[in-house]
Structure 1
Amino acid sequence: RWVRDFFSYETTKTVVVKSWVVGVVNRGVQLLILSYFVCWVFLHEKAYQVRDTAIESSVVTKVKGVGRYAGQMMDTADYVTPPQGTSVFVVVTKQIRTENQTQGLCPESEAAFRCSADRDCRQLSPGTSNGERPGR
C-alpha cells in the first residue's frame, strides 16, 4: 500500500495519477537531482568550502577633536563607525540630526573656559586642555 502511494504523483490541482510509470519517473528525477547536489556539488567540488579570493582591505579613520560641516559643529560622538565584517563595503550617506538640541554650559576646571555668554569666549579659539571651544 505505501509503495503504491509513494509512487503516485499529485499536481497542484490535486489530480492523483495512479500510474506506476509516471510515479517512478517522477521520483527518479527527484532522486537524480538530489544525487547531483549531494555527490557533485558537496562531495566532489566541495562548494560549501569555497572562499572568496578577492583582496580584503579596510580603512579606519579615528577622529579627535571637533569639526565643522554644513555650518554644524561635530565632535567624536557625531562620527559613528559601522561594525566591521568580511566582504563589507560601507559608505555613510545619512546624518541623523537631533532637533532642538543645543550646546549649553558645562562645568570646566579652568577659569578660562567658564563662559556665561557667547561674548565671553572667542568662538573656535584654540584651547589648552579641552580642545576647540564651540562658544558657550
Structure 2
Amino acid sequence: MASLFEFLVAAFLVMAGIFGLVGSYGLIKLNDPMSRLHAPTKATTLGVGGVLLASMLNAAAFGKYFSVHELLITLFLFLTAPITANFIAKVHIHRQESRETMPSAGEDDHWATHDTPEDEEQRNAGRPDAAQ
C-alpha cells in the first residue's frame, strides 16, 4: 500500500514539473504579452497545484496527519491567479490603446474603464478642496 502512495506522490510531482516547465517555456517563447500572460496563469498554476497535492498526499500517507495548509494555499492560488491575470491584461490594453481609440465610459457595455475628463473644471468638480 505504501508503494501506491509513493507512486501517486511521484506522479503528482512529475505532472507538476511538466506543467511548470511548459508554463515557464511559454512565458519565455510566446511573442506578445497577452499570449505570455496565458502560460504562467494556467500551466504554472496547475504545476504548483500538483506540488501541493503531492505534499498533502505525502503528509496523509507517511506523516499520519492531514495537512490543511496546502489545501488553503491551493484554494488561494486558484482564486487569485485569474484576478491577477485580469489586472495584467488591463494594464496591457491601456498601454496599447490611445485615448482616441478607447471608448468613453458608458459607450461600450463590455469595457471596464472610466473616461477621465480633460477639462480642469470637470476634473475638480465635486472635490471639497477645489473651491479654495
**TM-score interval w.r.t. the shorter chain?**
under 0.3
Larger radius of gyration: 1
Q: TM-score, normalised by structure 1?
A: 0.20
- Return the structure number with greater helix share: 2
With the length of structure 2 as denominator, give the TM-score of the two structures.
Answer: 0.20
Greater relative CO (CA pairs within 8 A, separation 6+): 2
